Amino acid sequence: MSSLKKRSVNLAGHATSLALEPEFWAALERAAIDDALSLAALIQSIDTGRGERPLASACRVFALLRAAAHQPGRGEVGNGDG
């Protein structure tokens, strides 16, 4: 993966910076579009549910799980095949 790209985000009224690889930023942007959210709103929702996990790690896990769920043949339980 490429080097980290840092962006500023506003979470619950507090500015913070988040450094992720460009590939993860792209995955988060796609997820935000798919969910009809702003990128900030998506990151806020990840932040709310992350528990003790660092925000950057939570964003990466979210992006990976989302990508896995959208692969052909995945993400559909009980689709009648088999």
**How confident is the model at residue 71, as a pLDDT?**
79
* pTM for the predicted model, two decimal places: 0.80
Does 77 map to a domain? no
**How confident is the model at residue 28, as a pLDDT?**
97
Does 16 map to a domain? yes
Q: pLDDT per residue over 18-74, tens digit each? A: 999 999 999 999 999 999 999 999 999 999 999 999 999 999 999 999 988 887 765
Domain limits for position 34: 5-69
User: How many structural domains compose the chain?
Assistant: 1
Nearest to 22, CA basis, from 50, 55, 63: 63
Residue with tokens 């799980």: 65
Does 75 map to a domain? no
Does 82 map to a domain? no
Q: Which residue type is seen at 65?
A: L
Does 74 map to a domain? no
**How confident is the model at residue 12, as a pLDDT?**
83
